[in-house]
Structure 1
């Protein structure tokens, strides 16, 4: 499960409306008949239209300056294994989102408990994901892409009379290069913007920075992570606990759908890899044999070359460990392993 929280992006003019973000989320509905379109939902309602989402988020900004983000987006991206486990069922994903938002509310520390009833949010299911420049397949195809682009520019110059050459032969070279690309999908070279195959369902959530009463701020931003303050003579936590939210979110999925999560799929493993690679590999080394094999299979499917998981501490050489860390880290960034 890959979950990311992002603040509203504000340009130089500090345009505060949610309209641009909602327009982006409507991209999969373009060209579809009304009955085929995917509408928004919240904790208690389905089939909410985009205009209502914009109106309610834009109206819920009391006492926020023009430089303050008015909303945050949460992207919930289950892994292929998680989607397969629930049969890529859109209704189950919506059920999970509603449980997830209970966890989101509970991750705030205020003078009183925050519940999901106080959170103004709308969510939308998307069924497609596309390759980006960050994906391993795109990066490894890039040398071929550069050569093809150079040939295409040469063909254009010949057509415009700036160069001389045989366009036919240049096109044959391009076709040969396309065949050489290391990563293809349905026979075509993988490029940025190409839709990924397999189950790709994920959820986008837009959540207001203010609570439903438009009087209290509920910000999950990095500046508002948990800290301590003194209230009525006692030290209390305040802010938003991202670690608690991420850990609880995957536990919610596992409990709700009976999913058995391998070590390399966990948020805990991702944290270890970032902060203490040696401890990460030591934990990997200590897994039972069957779980270690599953871990290796998950890494292999994510495109991480693992000749063999170390069988003893002596094999955890620094250089080899850091090379493997780099590969796993890239797979995590692209959501391939699904942490």
Structure 2
């Protein structure tokens, strides 16, 4: 399970409205008949239209400055293994999202307990993911893509009379490069923007920075898990515990759907990999044989070359360990593995 929390983008052309983000989330509905479109939902309702989402998020911004983010986005991206486990069923993902938002509310540190009823949010299911420039397969195809583009420019120049050359021979070179590119999908070279095959369902959530009464700030962007500050002469609690949120979100999925999570799929493993690689690999070595084999398969499916997991610490050379860490890190970044 990969979950990311992002604040509203504040660029030079700052737009305080949620309209641009909602428009982005409507991309999969383009060209579809009304009955085939995926609408927004929240904790208690389904089939909410985009205009209502914009209106309610935009109206819930009391006492926020022009440069303050008015909302945050949460992307909930289950791994293919998790999606397969639930049959890639949209209703199960929506059920999980509603449980997840209970966890989100409970992760705020406030004088008064925050519940999901205090949170103004809207969520939307998307069924497709596309390759980005960050994906390992796109990066490894890039050298071929650059050569192909250069040859295509040459063909165009010849056809327009700006250069001389043999177009059929150049096109043969292009075709050869297309065949040689290391990563393909359905016979075509993988490029940025190509729709990924397999189960790719995920959830986008837009959540207001202010609570549903438009009177209290609920910012998950706080630098503190728990802290206290003086406001109007009184001590008040503040903070958002992201670690608690991520861990509880994972446990919620496992409990809700009876999912048996391998070590390399866990948030704990990701933390270890980031902060203490030696401890990560020590834990990997300590797994029972069948779980270690399952871990190896998960890493392999994520595009990480693991010829074998060393059987003891002595075999785990520092250079090899760091190369494997780099590979796992890239897979996490591109969403290829759910840790």
TM-score greater than 0.5 by the shorter chain: yes
> 2:188 — aligned with what?
188
> C-alpha displacement at 1:231, in angstroms?
8.0
Alpha carbons 2:131, 2:191 under 8 Å: kept: yes
Q: What pairs up with 1:1-339 in 2 under 5 angstroms?
A: 1-221=1-221, 223-229=222-228, 238-339=238-339
Q: In structure 2, what is the Cα distance between the partners aligned to 1:100 and 1:108?
A: 13
Q: Would the aligned equivalents of 1:28 and 1:126 in 2 still touch at CA under 8 Å? A: yes
Larger displacement relative to structure 2 (12-21 or 55-64)? 12-21
Instruction: Compute the displacement of 1:201 (Å).
Output: 0.2
Residue-by-residue CA offset, 1:218-265 (whole Å, 9 max, x unaligned):
0001x4432422689x99862100000000000000000000000000
Residue 226 of structure 2 contacts residue 241 of structure 2 at CA under 8 Å; is this kept in 1?
no
Q: CA deviation at 1:58?
A: 0.3
Whole-Å separation in 1 of the counterparts to 2:223 and 2:208: 15
Q: CA–CA distance in 2 between the matches of 1:294 and 1:12?
A: 47
In the alignment, the residues of structure 2 paired with residue 332 and residue 53 of structure 1 have an alpha-carbon distance, to the nearest angstrom, of: 31
Q: Which runs of 5+ in 1 are unaligned?
A: none
Question: Cα deviations across residues 15-48 of structure 1 (Å, max 9, x unaligned)?
Answer: 1000000000000000000000000000000000
> In the superposition, relative to structure 1, how do residues 231 and 9 fare at CA in structure 2: closer, same or farther (>3 Å)?
closer
Alpha-carbon contact 1:226-1:237 (below 8 Å) kept: no
What is the DSSP-based 3-state SS (H/G/I as helix, E as strand, rest coil) of the residue aligned with 1:92? Answer: helix
What's the CA shift for 1:128? 0.2
Q: TM-score, normalised by structure 2?
A: 0.97
SS in 2 for 1:109: coil
Contact 2:155 2:170 in 1 (8 A): yes
Rate the CA distance shift 1:254–1:236 in 2: closer, same or farther, 3 A: farther
Residues 121/230 of structure 1: CA separation in 2 closer, same or farther (3 Å cut): closer
Structure 1 SS opposite 2:249: helix
Partner SS, residue 239 of structure 2: strand
Runs (4+) of structure 1 moved beyond 3 Å? 234-237
Q: Answer yes or no: is the 8 Å Cα contact 1:8–1:71 preserved in 2.
A: yes
CA distance change for structure 1 residues 59 and 81 in 2, over 3 Å: closer, same or farther?
same
Give the conservation status (yes or no) of the 8 Å contact 1:278–1:316. no
Q: What's the C-alpha RMSD, in Å, of the aligned pairs?
A: 1.6
Give the paired residue count: 338
Q: Distance in 1 between matches of 2:192 and 2:219?
A: 33
Which secondary structure does the structure 1 equivalent of 2:227 belong to? strand
